[in-house]
Structure 1
C-alpha cells in the first residue's frame, strides 16, 4: 500500500494510478540514470557545483537540513535504506541511483532551473516521468527515515519553496514551451493527444483535442496557443456548457461531479478522529478539515466520496452544488509523505491518507437546502503537484454565492485527488458510474453524481 504516485503491487505487476510515473520500473531507472548523467556532464563542463551556485530555495532547504542533527541524519539515511516494498525489496541495488545527499541537492537544482516534464512512449510502452521530483524521491520516501523526514513541517515548508520556484522559473514560463509541441517528446504529438482524447471522450463522442479544448494550431502551429507547460495543463474546454453540461442544473438535490475523475472510495458513518494512516485508511474528518471546529461536527457520522485525477485529466474544479461558499482556504501540508504500511501486496493505494496530511484546498458550501445542509469539498495536491489555486472570487470576503457547476479553482501542474463530504442526515443515491468497485473510466465533470434525499 503506497501513494498513488508510487507503486501499487498487484498480482506480480506494478501499477501507478494517475499515470504520473511509469508502471514499468525500468523506465523509471533509465530516466534517473539519464538525469545523473546530465548532472555528471554539468560537473565535467563547469566543475563541481558550489553550494551558493544552487537555486536559492535549494540552498534554503539545505540550510534547514544541516541546522538539525535529526534532519541531517534522516536525509542521509533515507538515501541508503531499502524500502520494504517491491520492486526495491528484491532489487536493492538496481534501483538505487541517488545515494548521496549532495547529489540529491544537485538534482533538485537541475530540475528547478531547467527541467520541464517531457512526453515519451518508451521501448517499454510506458509513457512518462510527469513528476521528476517524485521520481528521484520515490525510493527514499518509502524508507523508515523517509517516512519521518517528509512529515516534518520545516522540511515541507522548504519543499514548498522549491516546488514553487520550479513552477515560477520553468513550468509557467517560456522555458517549458519546448515540451508543448508536436515533436516526439512533446505533449501535442499524435500519441499523447490520442490518450487525452480517449480519456476525455467518456460520453460516447469522438471529439478531437482541437474540438475539446481551447487551442489555436492554425495561428500558432508550434505551440497551439499555449504559453507554457502550466497553461497546457490547466487548459479549458472549448465550450464547457456543450461538452460538459451541468446535469439537473435547477434541481438542488442532485450533486454534480466536481472533478473529471475516477471514483476511488465511499465511506459512511465517518468519525471525527480515526486511524487514517493504517490499513483501510478510514477518513478522519477533523484532520481532513484541519480541525476547523465550526464545520467538523457537521460531517461526523456522514459520508465521504473520493475520486482521483490522472495526468491527462482536466484539472479545474467546479462546485458540486448551488449555494453560498462560507469557507475557502488552502492548508499547507506534506508533499512526499506516504503511510508507513508494510502490506505491499495490497490492491489499495494511499489516496485516503493524503486527504489528511497533504497540501489541500478546503471549501464549505451552504446549500440552504434542509435535506443537504453543508457540503465539504477538499482538493488535494501532492508531490510535484504543489499549487492548489482558489479562484479570486472565493478568496475574499465570504459568503459568496456559487452556482452548481461553476468553476471554483484548479490544480497547477496537473492534479491529484479530491473528496466530497456530506452531513450525517443526508441520504445519497449514487449513479452507477460512481461505484469505486466497478468504475473503469472518469466521470465527466459537472455530470450527475448522486441524488440527496431525506431519511425516512
Structure 2
C-alpha cells in the first residue's frame, strides 16, 4: 500500500483513469467491516492527512500538469475529456461550447494557461456563464454547485444511529455538535447533490444574506456506509462509496457555512461542503460577518469529486422544482432549486 501511495504522490489524476487514485488503492479494504473499523482510526487518519497534504503540494506545482494534454490515454484535453467537461453546458440548438468559452483559460497557451493541476480543477467560469435564475425573485433558492441530485430528506433527526441504520442524516454529527446552531435545525430539511471529478467545483451562495459562522471540521477520509458494502458487478460505474453520501456527511472532512438570509421565509440556512475521500480541502472565500448575494462565489473544493448539502430549519416551507429532485438529475450552479413559500398572515 505504501509503495503505491509513494508512486501516486508525484502523479496527478488522469481523466477516467482508474478513478480517484488513493481511493482505488484502498477501495477493496473500504468494502469490508474490518476496513471500515480501521479507517475510522484517528491515528491512521492523522497519517493519511500528512500523505494527502504532501500530494496537494504536488498538485499545486507545475509538475502536476503532465495530464493537462490532448492524449486520449488520460489527458484532460483529449476529445473525450473535453466532451465530458463541456457537455453540461451544451444546448439543443447550439451543441457544446468550447472549453475556453465556458472557463477562464486559453487553448493557445501551454496547458491552456493553467499553472497546476489544481488550478485547472478549480477553474473559474467566464462572466455570463450560468447566470443566476430568477434574480429579481427574493423567495427563490439557487443551487450552490454544479451537481447531480442525490437526496432530499425532511424532519432530520438531531442524533441518529447512522452506523446501524446506514443512509440517514445525524444533524449533531453533521454540524460537529455546533453549540450555536445545532438545535435550530433539528427537524429541518436537507437537499444533497454530488459533484463528479469533471464538474465545476466552486460554491455560490444560494441566498442573499450575511455569513454568521464558518467551521472547518476534520474527519475520516475513506469510510463508507456498511449498508453499501455490496458491489454491483453488473454496473461498472457503481461505487459503494457513492451510495454512502448521506452517511459520510457526519464523518468526513467538511466545511459548514451558516448564512442568515435576508428573507424571513428562508431564515438562517446552512451550506455543508463535504470532502469525499482524498478531496479534503474545502476553502471559503468569504468571511464571517460578510454580506453575500445569491450566486456570489463563497468557496471551492480542491483535488477531486465532492458532495454538498443545503440545510433549512424546521417550519420553512420550500417548494422544490420537480426537475431538481429526480435521482441523478443534472442541476446547474445558480439554477433555481425551489422557492420559499411565505407564511400566511395571521
Alpha-carbon offset, residue 363 of structure 1: 0.3
CA gap 1:205/1:404 in 2 versus in 1, 3 angstroms:
farther
Alpha-carbon offset, residue 280 of structure 1: 5.6
Q: Could you tell me whether the CA contact under 8 Å between 2:166 and 2:227 is conserved in 1?
A: no
Structure 2 residue aligned with 1:401, among 291, 297, 313? 291
Q: For 1:345 and 1:320, locate their aligned partners in 2 and report how far apart those are by CA, in whole Å.
A: 35
Q: For 1:281 and 1:202, locate their aligned partners in 2 and report how far apart those are by CA, in whole Å.
A: 35
Q: Could you tell me whether the CA contact under 8 Å between 1:164 and 1:386 is conserved in 2?
A: no
TM-score w.r.t. the length of structure 1 is 0.70
CA gap 1:454/1:277 in 2 versus in 1, 3 angstroms:
farther
Alpha-carbon offset, residue 204 of structure 1: 6.4
- Give the aligned partner of residue 71 of structure 2: 183
* Alignment map for 1:313-352 (pairs within 5 Å): 313-341=199-227, 344=230, 349-352=243-246
Alpha-carbon offset, residue 144 of structure 1: 2.2
TM-score w.r.t. the length of structure 2 is 0.91
Secondary structure of 2:223's aligned partner: coil
Task: In structure 1, list runs of 5 or more residues that go unmatched.
Answer: 1-103, 120-126
Structure 1 residue aligned with 2:88, among 169, 185, 199? 199
- Give the aligned partner of residue 109 of structure 1: 6
Moved over 4 A (4+): 202-205, 345-348
Alpha-carbon offset, residue 149 of structure 1: 1.2
* Alignment map for 1:233-244 (pairs within 5 Å): 233-239=121-127, 242-244=128-130
Structure 2 residue aligned with 1:149, among 19, 35, 38? 38
- Give the aligned partner of residue 163 of structure 1: 52
Q: Could you tell me whether the CA contact under 8 Å between 1:270 and 1:285 is conserved in 2?
A: yes
Q: For 1:413 and 1:260, locate their aligned partners in 2 and report how far apart those are by CA, in whole Å.
A: 16
Alpha-carbon offset, residue 193 of structure 1: 0.1
Which piece of structure 1 moves more, 424-433 or 280-289?
280-289
Secondary structure of 2:180's aligned partner: helix
Q: For 1:287 and 1:455, locate their aligned partners in 2 and report how far apart those are by CA, in whole Å.
A: 30
CA gap 1:428/1:202 in 2 versus in 1, 3 angstroms:
farther
Count of residues in correspondence between the two structures: 334
Q: For 1:405 and 1:194, locate their aligned partners in 2 and report how far apart those are by CA, in whole Å.
A: 26
Larger Rg: 1
Q: Could you tell me whether the CA contact under 8 Å between 1:278 and 1:339 is conserved in 2?
A: no
- Give the aligned partner of residue 300 of structure 1: 186
Alpha-carbon offset, residue 454 of structure 1: 3.4
CA gap 1:406/1:199 in 2 versus in 1, 3 angstroms:
same
Secondary structure of 2:5's aligned partner: helix
Q: For 2:92 and 2:272, locate their aligned partners in 1 and report how far apart those are by CA, in whole Å.
A: 26
Specify which structure has the higher proportion of strand.
Answer: 2
Q: For 2:71 and 2:106, locate their aligned partners in 1 and report how far apart those are by CA, in whole Å.
A: 17
Q: Could you tell me whether the CA contact under 8 Å between 1:275 and 1:281 is conserved in 2?
A: no
CA gap 1:405/1:203 in 2 versus in 1, 3 angstroms:
farther
- CA offsets 1:274-311 (integer angstroms, 9 cap, x no match): 13334462211111111102111111111000010011
- Give the aligned partner of residue 11 of structure 1: none
- Give the aligned partner of residue 235 of structure 2: none
Alpha-carbon offset, residue 191 of structure 1: 1.2
Task: In structure 2, list runs of 5 or more residues that go unmatched.
Answer: 233-237
Alpha-carbon offset, residue 334 of structure 1: 0.9
Alpha-carbon offset, residue 203 of structure 1: 8.0
- CA offsets 1:411-453 (integer angstroms, 9 cap, x no match): 111231000000101001111221134x43x211001111001
